[in-house]
């Protein structure tokens, strides 16, 4: 199943993307230079340009891979528990905290929609919409809440003593599908 945009790249280019990701996750965005990527592969920076057009292409590949991973994570989470929105929220937070620099790279700018695999963005969104009972306003509000919580947590914006789990629960409860009488199926 082709879920990663970097699969359209040559094998060598995929190695370069993989090296870039390691550097990004370990050293942050300031460490992600073409020179550093080349060094990790044991070559010189100019050689990279035989395989990748430019740095921006590399970043698009990283963003695309991250999006695909989030979509997969959402689908697993939604299928797992009896409270899809809570499961998705938990998965979202977990993924973001596990990949802070990649998460920021993905979120801190407009999506390069014209360079992503078609349907990728919708795939991630669909599970959230479903979990909010098909209400797009609630889905967007829930997305905003989750992103806000994650990014404020990453940026150490809350007081150290703050109970972030409680705040998460408060938000998830606010946007969850209203339980219907009887079965939800």
Residue 103 near residue 66, CB atoms below 8 Å: yes
State the minimum distance, in angstroms, from the CB of residue 104 to DNA: 16
CA 160 to chain centre: 25
* Residue 44 interacts with DNA (CB under 7 A): yes or no: yes
Torsion angle in degrees (nearest 10) through CA of 4, 95, 32, 61: 10
| Binding track, positions 95-134, relative to DNA; x by CB under 7 A | ----------------------------------------
Distance CA 52, CA 76 (A): 33
* Residue 13 interacts with a second copy (CB under 8 A): yes or no: no
Q: Which of 166, 177, 180, 183 binds a second copy (CB under 8 A)?
A: 166
Determine whether 167 is exposed, middle or buried from the number of CB atoms within 10 Å of its CB (0-12, 13-18, 19+). middle
Q: Which of 54, 79, 170, 184 binds a second copy (CB under 8 A)?
A: 170
Q: Which is nearer to a second copy, 13 or 150 (CB)?
A: 150
- Say whether 109 sits in a helix, a strand or coil: coil
What is the maximum span of the chain, computed from C-alpha positions, in angstroms?
Answer: 64
Q: Which residues bind a second copy (CB under 8 A)?
A: 107-111, 135-138, 140-141, 143-149, 151-152, 155-158, 162-164, 166-171, 174-175
The binding site for DNA (CB under 7 A) comprises: 12, 31-36, 38, 42-47, 49-51, 54-56
């Amino acid at each position: 199943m082709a879920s990663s945009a970097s699969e359209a790249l040559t094998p060598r280019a995929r190695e370069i993307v993989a090296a870039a990701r390691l550097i990004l996750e370990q050293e942050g965005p300031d460490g992600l230079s073409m020179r550093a990527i080349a060094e990790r592969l044991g070559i010189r920076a100019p050689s990279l340009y035989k395989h990748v057009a430019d740095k921006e292409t590399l970043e698009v590949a990283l963003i695309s891979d991250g999006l695909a991973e989030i979509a997969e994570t959402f689908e697993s989470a939604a299928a797992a528990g009896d409270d899809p929105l809570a499961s998705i929220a938990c998965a979202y937070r977990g993924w973001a905290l596990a990949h802070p620099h990649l998460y920021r790279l993905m979120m801190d700018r407009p999506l390069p929609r014209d360079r992503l695999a078609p349907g990728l963005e919708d795939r991630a969104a669909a599970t959230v919409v479903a979990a909010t009972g098909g209400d797009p306003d609630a889905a967007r509000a829930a997305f905003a809440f989750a992103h806000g919580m994650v990014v404020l947590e990453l940026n150490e914006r809350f007081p150290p003593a703050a109970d972030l789990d409680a705040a998460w629960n408060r938000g998830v409860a606010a946007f969850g599908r209203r339980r219907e009488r009887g079965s939800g199926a």
